[in-house]
Structure 1
Amino acid sequence: MSNTSYASETLAETIHALRDTRHTPMFTLKCQANILIVLLMAVALLAATSMPSHAEKHGNDLAKIIAGALVIGLIAKTIDDNKDRHKPQPHIPQPQPYPEPVYEPRVPSVCAISIDSNSGDAVTMYSERCLDREGFNYRLPNCARDIRIYGERDRVYSAQCLRDAGFRLDR
């Protein structure tokens, strides 16, 4: 992979950004076809030269020389094409897609209730009734506790419970 740095906030965004930087396979179908052609031409050339030569007409010898020159020319052309293909091409930067921003709904801070615990620490809870009143209409997690506030039944969510469910809390 390249040493290019990408701005991302999660591992999934990094993987998404680097997905298109993979290299193409070394032996593509075109490369394999070129290798096969070169091998076939080499076998044909070996077969043509291994036949015993007879004192025949000069026209037949000339045809063999021309055919051999064509085979050698094709081999040289194929090798030349392979060299051109393996030359480093000028790097044209591809535009990278921007990762989509992660949207975390913000819990209204007016619904925060600070409750003192037995250990002396304050625990922040959020009332379901207040969240409804503030127009917070997102699907809430299943970690609420049923309590009574000023004699009325309500459900409250701990700050950690809402954070774990993907909501943003104001400090």
Structure 2
Amino acid sequence: MSDTAYASETLAETIHALRETRQTPMFALKRQANIFVVLLIAISLLAATAMPSHADKRGDDLAKIIAGALVIGLIAKTIDDNKDRNKPKPHKPQPYPEPIRQPRVPSVCAISIDSNSGDAVTMYSEKCMRREGFDYRLPRCARDIRIYGQPDRVYSAQCLRDAGFRLGR
């Protein structure tokens, strides 16, 4: 496989894992804890403004109104933040790498062998193809032979074409 295929699989797995973490119980617990803290602050501010003071009545009422407005604003902002967090964010779809429809067999690996009828037959060595980085799954139509005394498997050009491979020039 090519590096782009691995990169796209890794990217897809990463995105999938990130989506799963937002649905975990720990994520929900943190969110509830944040809401609890905001409510606790709001209640404490309201309780603090309800304490009687010896200041004049008019200034005390003004302080209560300002504190109440601040608490309401804080709660409204927290609710808006939660709504924005839950909205799906628009994103550009990532282009998928184009799949290789017909992988090309390296032409360096072509071996021309004379047949009994006088015609030349082109064969492709498996060891050579692997050495050249051809890591696709090969068909089962190979023949076991020895090349310079070393065992190898060779594939005919027709066999590779029938399996969907393009032959090198």
Same fold, judged at TM 0.5 (above)? no
Query: What's the TM-score, normalizing by structure 2?
Result: 0.45
Q: TM-score, normalised by structure 1?
A: 0.44
The structure with more helix, counted as a fraction of residues: 2
Instruction: Tell which structure's C-alpha radius of gyration is larger.
Output: 1
